[in-house]
Amino acid sequence: MTGTTSQNRTNTVSATAAKSSPTTLFGLVLVGLLGLVVLMMFSGSGIAQQEAPPVVEQPVLVVPIAYQTQYAKPYRATGKVESNQQALIGFENGGKVAQILVEDGAQISAGQILAKLDIQRLEAQLAELTAAQSLVEAEVRLAKNTKERVVDLVSRKLDSAQRLDEVSENLNIAQARLTQITAQLNTVRLEVKKSTIYASTDGNIIKRMVDPGAVVGVGQPIFEIASNTELQARIPLPPEVATTLNQGDFTALSVGNISLNGQLSALGSQRNLRTRTLDAFFSLPANANVLVGDLVRANLTVTVAQTGAWVPVSALANGIRGMWTVLVAQNTGETLLESRTVEVIYTDGDMAYITGALQTNELVVLAGTHRFIAGQKVTAALYSQLP
Amino acid sequence: MSNTDKKYPWYTMFVRSGHLLSLAIIIVMVAGLSAINNLPRLEDPRIDLRYTLVLTFFPGASAERVEALVSDVLEDELRELYEIKKVESTSKAGFSLLTIELQDWVDNRTNQQIFGKIRDRLDDAAERFPEGAMDPIMEDNRGATAYTVQYALSAKYPDTSSVNMVSRFAQEFADNLRNVSGTEVVNIYGAPVEEITVSIDPNKLAVVGLTPMDISAAISGADPKLPAGIVYTDNLNLRVQVAQELSSLDVINNIPLLEVNGDYLRVADVAAVTRGYQSPRQTYALLEEQDVIFVAARMQTSVRVDQWTEQIKAQAATFEQMYGASVNVDIVFEQNRYTEERLSELSGNLLLGCVVVMLVILLFMGYKASWIVGLSLPLCAFFAVFSLGFFGESIHQMSIFGIIIAIGLLIDNAIVMTDEIRQNLLLPGMSRVGALVKSVNHLFVPLFASTLTTILGFMPIFLLNGNIGDFIGSIAISVVMALFGSFWISLSIIAALAARFLPKSHAENTPWYVQGLQRPQISNAFQMLLKKGLTKPLQILPIIIVICIMGFILAGNLANVFFPSADRDQFAIEVNLPVGANIESTYALTKQIHQKIKSYEGVEQVHWLIGSSIPTVYYNQVMNRDNSPEYANGVIKVDTMNRAAQLIDRLQFDIQAAFPQAKIVVKAFGQGPPIPAPVEVDIFGPDLVVLEEIGRDVRLIFSQTPGISQSFASISLNEPEVIVNTSRDQVSLSGLSLNDLSLQLQLALNGVVGGSIVEQTEEVPIRVRISDADRSDLTSLAALPLASTQYDINNPFLQVSALGDFSVVPSLTGITRKNSERVNRIQGFLLQGVPAVSVAQQIAAALEDYQLPPGYSIKMAGDADKQNEALGQLGTYAPVLLVMMITTLILSFQSVRFAIVIGSVAILSVGLGMLSLWLSGLPIGFNPLLGCAGLIGVAINGSIVVIAAIKANPKAMSGDTDEIVAETMSCSRHILSTTFTTVGGLIPLLLFTAGSFWPPLAVVLAGGVGFSVMLSLVYTPILIGTLCRIRQRKIVRAEQKRLAHR
């Protein structure tokens, strides 16, 4: 590139005349450098060197706890509605059933005829005895007439005293026979009466067990009737719950959607081996629109005397060896969290009744314990103060 | 141009044949344009699938049993496969999840085979499972890739339409989308599992002495789905079917259970039969306030995202036409929008770069040179894009990223060649062809050396494998092909154009736009100064060296954000209630949080998935939460990227303060490999209780470290478990065994499935369980009647409370293992903009004094780990490549000294790049590192050209100051052009691009190139001159000695 060089050489000679050139050069270079520096400093939307990021202090809500001396535990039990008077009734005799006058589910009133046995045999006996009665009545009349005649004869000394005694006793015999027959007749009539079943109380026929024409034995149940005037609920309860109830107390019961007030009338005295419960009987109000056999639910509350405090389950955090802990803030504002071990006496899934290393009015972390560790610095605020 | 019998070298054919020249240009342009049209287009490179998940259900087992009997067995079987890099497992109550990561060298050609092997091993392992454990399910399509498009379907009349209807519509829609060509996979999220529920009143059941199992058996028995056989008559084969299948709810209601005296007890008497879904639901999906079902589709890698999205939208429009009266179809997310934005932004930058190049060259070399050089940029870019196809790459932000890095390098070759030819043409007596030959001869070796050195500098990235390699390998491919293209295009097409069209001589008053600006005063002044400097090297050189070294020192104070943020207008939010919370409470909380988020200005859309991870919208999101009713995940879209940056921290604080019952994490999307959390500490050891305690201590340290917003532990004991306190004696009095008791409770609470109803293509199972009212709290559980062998009609109610009371104890949430060792993973999330690596270093420092019990160890994971992995992989080949680079330089210049000078220029230019980074205050990371590689290429190019010029001049080689100065001057014009074009072309990225992805890169490139002008024009000539003079003196002295000894 010798050509260029010589050209430049000639230019150098003339350049000495332009003395201002170094400053122009310096000026240009300086401008260029500064421009570059400024460009660099303004790049990236001015993301300057960041100040050290802060230590994030988590906000936390706390609530003061209050100890109580007892707590209420709900207990739900289910039982059945029964009738106070529910019985299986039948004939006192055996025989063939002639008539059944009511069907299943029929309403009955006290004294109503329900069923009749076949009384043909009894009627035959009745006819037999009635005929016998007529016979004996005739004998009594004869004896009476005979006695009157003989008394007349004896008074006119026409007959012996012996004859008088004979006819008197004959009259007695005939009268005694009449009494006997009458009594036999009454017996058969009683049997006829007992071949009918009468309703003993108002109520319903639960079940008719026998059809007309069947031959039944003594005491075989024909009907199951239940009184609908007095219903009761039999609810099995564990003894520890049952003993908290007093006789005569009213309890809220529910059958389906209907709510009732039942009054405790009796408690069973023997514990059922399988279900470990006692039966509690609640008498239901008379106009309750329930059926025998309906399922009745009782929502009872059992008060247990034990000191503790209620906290929401979300305030519990895990501890070692299966124990629970809660986190406690020493004060509101900036504070450190402490971990205290507690024991859960009872929980229903949403709230827990606890006792443990806590004092009344200490501030317990309400929720979100999975965010925190004991010893962490937080900003605590009272729950009610939430904006 | 006379074409006599002179023998021209072959590379002059472009200048001799105009046809060849124009054809070459046209071919390159057409190739590039067709590549742009046909190459698949995505937002991010597709990472080859190296992950797979194995899910195993073991209902009823505790976490410890799942770990010992399922997870351990699976891990043992898989341990023997050498293709597996890492197995992580999580064992929760009833559920085991294994994540298998394959080795880095596995890619899409070999992974299916390996998955097949794994499946075989899983089957082997399943034989050793205990009774009750189900077969393992392998899910291998949850790759590290985002869904390309997401739709939300919802009922138009939500009060009267059931969610089951929407679910069936969603399935139909998903099938439609699968039919679009180019669809890889379509998944549905947030849909309920349809079932017919038979809700029993347990007390009614107890009265009659039945169990839920009996009812289920009765229903299955009444479902005659088995074929009853065929009757073969003489003419026909008649199929026999017993009665009708279960076809409606009425039929189920009438199924008889008991018969007494001709009276039937039917299902309807003891239970309510409803059509619904499995309750509680596994997932809920929300879009704004509405319950929806998400349908997410992913595109194959061989298609263009814009075309595919058009087809999908057309399909959705057809669907809406047919069913739009009953169901709403809304698009929630489309990747195409972001791809278009990204690509148009980048092409805009390329275009601007072109314009700047042409302007600068106009100033320096005249208008003809300006359009010649201006043409080189699109030509090289087209060549690079075209060659992507040969490597199986697609057009995505990484490949375009590569081209942008290479801009400075591309035009450098062209400028150098053009300037050289321009100067040669001005020599008197030089023909055009002759100028071309001279220039090519002179510049071939230097340009080759510089190009090869730069290519070798990018080779470590090219050779990376694994997830990182898949992701950034395409950058290296783009750069390397762009450089390669630029090399041969400059030597052939550009040189030919320059030789043909540049002016051969200048008249005295040629205007500036023909020959470029001439300011003799400045050049003369510079010449003088340079001459002075050559004589006093020890004054100038140290100053320059000190400035460069300062850059390194100052950069040590910069923050380290290795993986830059993604600069997106979306970010994610995670809501964690304590483990054990049910999905209904999470749902209610999420709706409240949603309302609060919407109250902020700039929030456009929020969509949620409750119960598991939301379908991904960004490539490195991890979908790692399944079966988590206490978890909700949302994606918030705001109007601008800056708004996102503002809101992320604000939302983190505000929402956490407003909803203290949940752990809230608001996080931005960042680049880099998919990791669950930026900061992670892994504690290894045998005992769960001790691990949990150490984990708590580490979490305390996390809470005291600045910048950490939340921390999570993977092994914790916070889940409440109800224990029925009873004994064998107590239960046997009631005629039960403990196993019976658990079985009955399970059947009552979870239910048992038996029988099904078939409706066209849907088969709906029938589940028998107790009604929700009876299983909703502990009091109801206590009142639940049980069935036993001793059925007593007078006292049928055997309640659970009769057998024992309840206590609630904390239990294990899950056991995590890594490579069969129990590990407690403590994960921390950061405030926005806080560099993960710095925080990790702080935590590591705090942990140094922590005493671990024997048998336990701590390891850092997260970003810091990934950074080390990345740097380690990059450094694997570094020594070899370094040696190759030095060898290239030495061979090109036949001189070790010159090679060392160039090496020193490279190192010093990096120092200048670091200085610029320090000036801008931006953090160091992966992008600046890449920028340095590009910077080195440009810087040494300048020095190489100066050295080549000096070498060609024997007088300069002998140390003649004037000659050295002259040679330097001859290179000054194009060095300055390169500098100005590089800096100018990067100005949009420097000043007008928001975010933290592009600016650090642009700063290093622009600043480094800008400041390294002084390296090329001052440092190199002075140093070379000094070396030459020293050598000359040695030669002279040796000569003198020789003469003296004669």
What pLDDT was estimated at residue B313? 95
Q: What is the pLDDT of residue B510?
A: 67
Is residue B775 within 8 Å of residue A288, measured between CB atoms? no
Question: Which of B142, B174, B204 marks a domain boundary?
Answer: B142
The reply to whether B844 falls in a domain is no
Contact A373 B987 (CB under 8 A): no
If asked whether residues B894 and B782 sit together in one domain, one would say no
Decide if B408 is inside a domain.
no
Q: How far apart are CA A237 and CA A278, in angstroms?
A: 5
Domains with residue ranges and CATH for chain A = 61-71+306-385 (2.40.420.20), 75-85+230-303 (2.40.30.170), 88-198 (1.20.120)
Beta carbons of A275 and B831 less than 8 Å apart: no
CB-CB under 8 Å, B578 with A3: no
pLDDT band per the 50, 70, 90 thresholds, residue B283: very high
Q: In this predicted model, what pLDDT tens digit does every residue of B409-425 receive, in sequence order?
A: 788 888 888 888 888 88
Distance between CA B983 and CA B124 in Å, rounded?
A: 62
Which of B102, B127, B142 delimits the end of a domain? B142
Has residue B992 got a pLDDT over 80?
Answer: no
Would you tell me which residues 144-163 of chain A have a C-beta closer than 8 angstroms to some C-beta of chain B?
A: none
The percentage of chain B sitting over the pLDDT mark of 70, rounded to a whole number, equals 97
Chain A contact for B554 (CB, 8 A cutoff): no
Tell me the CB-side half-sphere exposure of residue B255, using CA atoms within 13 A.
28
Q: What is the pLDDT of residue B227?
A: 67
Backbone angles phi, psi at B241, to 5 degrees: -125, 130
Nearest chain B alpha carbon to A276: B802
> Rounded to the nearest 5°, which phi and psi values hold at A329?
-100, 140
Q: How far apart are CA A346 and CA B779, in angstroms?
A: 11
Residue B852 lies in a domain: no
Residues B606 and B725 in one domain: no
Q: Over chain B, what is the mean pLDDT?
A: 85
Touching check for A52 and chain B: CB below 8 Å? yes
pLDDT at A104 over 60: yes
Confidence at residue B622, expressed as pLDDT on a 0 to 100 scale = 78
Strands (E), B243-283: 256-260, 263-266, 271-277
Q: What is the pLDDT of residues B225-253, one digit of tens each?
A: 766 778 888 888 888 877 766 777 888 88
Does the pLDDT of residue B947 top 60, yes or no?
yes
Question: Is the distance from CB of B582 to CB of B720 less than 8 angstroms?
Answer: no
- Within-domain flag for B158: no
**What's the sign of the alpha-carbon dihedral A377, A383, A384, A387?**
positive
Residue B114 has a CB neighbour count (10 Å cut-off) of 18
Question: What's residue B573's pLDDT?
Answer: 94
Which residue does chain A place closest to B661, by CA atoms?
A368
Q: Where does the pLDDT of residue B454 fall: very low under 50, low under 70, confident under 90, or very high at 90 and above? A: confident
**In the numeric block, which tokens belong to residue B708?**
């950490």
Q: What are the two backbone dihedrals, phi and then psi, of residue A56, each rounded to the nearest 5 degrees?
A: -75, 125
Position B252 in a domain: yes
Q: Is residue B33 part of a domain?
A: no
Does residue A331 belong to the interface with chain B, where contact is any CB pair within 8 Å? no
Strand B762-770 to A308-312 pairing: unpaired
The whole-number pLDDT of residue B572 equals: 93
How sure is the predictor about B144, in pLDDT bands with cuts at 50, 70 and 90? low
Which of B576, B660, B1000 is opposite residue A60, by nearest beta carbon? B660
How close does chain B come to A3, measured CA to CA in Å? 7
pLDDT surpassing 70 at residue A51: no
Q: What number of other Cβ atoms are within 10 A of residue B380's Cβ? A: 31
* Higher pLDDT among residues A322 and B634, named by residue: B634
CB contact A238 to B (< 8 Å):
yes
Distance CA B970, CA A158 (A): 200
Q: What angle do CA B901, B902, B907 make, to 5 degrees?
A: 95
Of A319 and B843, more confident: B843
> What is the CATH classification number for the domain harbouring B887?
1.20.1640.10
User: What domain count does chain B have?
Assistant: 4
Give A131 to chain B, closest Cα distance, Å. Answer: 49
What kind and span of H or E run contains B218?
A: helix B212-221
Cis peptide before B280 (omega within 30 of 0): yes
- Looking at the structure, do residues B543 and B571 belong to the same domain, yes or no? no
Contacts of B967 in chain A (CB under 8 A): 1
Distances (CA, A) of B402 to B215, B345, B384, B456: 68, 14, 10, 15
User: Is residue B212 situated within a structural domain?
Assistant: yes
Chain B within 8 Å of A329 (Cβ-Cβ)?
A: no
Q: Which stretches of B620-667 are DSSP H helices?
A: 641-658
What's the Rg (C-alpha) of chain A? 54
Contact A274 B969 (CB under 8 A): no
Q: CB–CB of B922 and A25 under 8 A?
A: no
Taking residue B263's Cβ as centre, other Cβ atoms within 10 Å add up to 8
**Residue B159: how many other CB atoms lie within 10 Å:** 5
B-interface mutation test, from A275, A291, A327, A376, most B Cβ less than 10 A away: A275
Find, among B1029, B998, B715, B954, the residue nearest to B856 by Cα: B715
Task: Tell me the mean pLDDT in the region B577-591.
Answer: 90
Q: CB distance A15–B204 less than 8 Å?
A: no
- A236: which chain B residues are within 8 Å (Cβ-Cβ)? 795, 797
Extended strands (E) in B174-240: 183-189, 194-200, 230-232, 237-239
Say if residue B1033 is in the same domain as residue B946. yes
CATH number, domain at B790? Answer: 3.30.2090.10
Domain shared by B533 and B641, yes or no: no
Mutation target to probe the B interface, by most B beta carbons within 10 A, among A9, A30, A209, A371 is: A371
Residues B904 and B779 in one domain: no
**Which tokens sit at B84?**
């597996």
- pLDDT score for B6: 56
Residues of B in contact with A72 (CB under 8 A): none
DSSP B959: T
What is the C-alpha to C-alpha distance for residues A117 and A119, in angstroms, rounded to an integer? 6
pLDDT, tens digit (0-9, with 9 covering 90-100), for B32-80: 999 988 888 888 887 788 888 899 988 878 888 899 999 999 999 998 8
CB–CB of B522 and A368 under 8 A? no
Write down the pLDDT at residue A46.
47
| Interface predicted TM-score (ipTM) | 0.70
Q: Is A370 on the interface with B (CB under 8 A)?
A: yes
Q: What is the mean pLDDT of residues B1014-1023?
A: 87
CA pair distance A213, A284, nearest whole angstrom: 39
Q: What b/e readout covers B828-855, taking b as 16+ CB neighbours within 10 angstroms?
A: bbbbbbbbbbbbbebbeeebeeeeeeee
The verdict on B790 touching A (C-beta cutoff 8 Å) is yes
- Cβ contacts (< 8 Å) between A339 and chain B: which residues? none
Cβ–Cβ below 8 Å for A347 and B717 = no
How crowded is residue B1032: how many other Cβ atoms within 10 Å of its Cβ?
14
Find chain B residues with C-beta within 8 A of A104's C-beta: none
**Chain B within 8 Å of A3 (Cβ-Cβ)?**
yes
Task: Tell me how close the Cα of B349 comes to any Cα of chain A, in angstroms.
Answer: 16
pLDDT (mean) for B807-833: 87
Whether residue B267 contacts residue B218, with contact meaning beta carbons closer than 8 Å, is answered with: yes
For residues B790 and A45, the model is more confident at B790
Structure-model confidence comparison of residues B69 and B984, the more confident one: B69
Sequence-distant (≥ 6) Cβ neighbours of residue B858 within 8 angstroms: B681, B682, B683, B684, B698, B847, B850, B852
Q: Do B570 and B630 reside in the same domain of the chain? A: yes
Q: Both B243 and B209 in a single domain?
A: yes
**CATH number (domain holding residue B659):** 3.30.70.1430
Which residues of chain B lie closer than 8 angstroms to A347, CB-CB?
A: 778, 806, 808
Single-letter amino acid, residue A153: L
Regarding predicted confidence, which is higher, B1003 or B144? Answer: B1003
Q: Do A56 and B720 touch (CB under 8 A)?
A: no
Same domain, yes or no: B216 and B93: no
Q: Which among B127, B142, B157 is the end of a domain? A: B142
Give the mean pLDDT of B465-482: 84
- Would B1027 be classed as within a structural domain? yes
Report the residue from A24, A49, A59 with minimal CB separation from B525: A24
Q: Are A315 and A369 in contact (CB under 8 A)?
A: yes
Contact A3 B428 (CB under 8 A): yes
Neighbour-count burial of B857, counting CB atoms closer than 10 A to its CB (0-12 exposed, 13-18 middle, 19+ buried):
exposed
Q: How many CB atoms lie under 10 A from the CB of residue B955? A: 15
Q: Which domain holds residue B90?
A: 48-142
Q: Token pair of B642, please?
A: 């800056």
Residues B241 and B133 in one domain: no
CB A60 within 8 A of CB A365: yes
Count of positions (residues) in chain B: 1046
Residue to mutate among B269, B441, B664, B795, with most A CBs inside 10 A, is: B795
pLDDT tens for residues B197-220?
998 888 888 888 888 888 888 888
List the 945-1004 stretch of B: residues with Cβ below 8 A of A: 949, 953, 962-963, 966-967, 969-970, 983, 987, 990-991, 994-996, 999-1000, 1002-1003
Range 120-139 of B in CB contact (< 8 A) with A:
none
Query: Who has greater pLDDT, A250 or A51?
Result: A250
Q: Which one has a higher pLDDT value, A196 or B995?
A: A196
| Same structural domain, B885 and B1028 | yes
B896 and B1039 share a domain?
Answer: yes
Rounded Cα distance, B166 and B187, in Å: 15
B474 within 8 A of B45, measured Cβ to Cβ: yes
pLDDT at B699 over 70: yes
Establish if A45 touches chain B: CB-CB under 8 angstroms. Answer: yes
CA dihedral for A342, A343, A345, A351, sign (positive or negative) = positive
Q: Which of A1, A21, A377 sits opposite B525 (nearest CB)?
A: A21
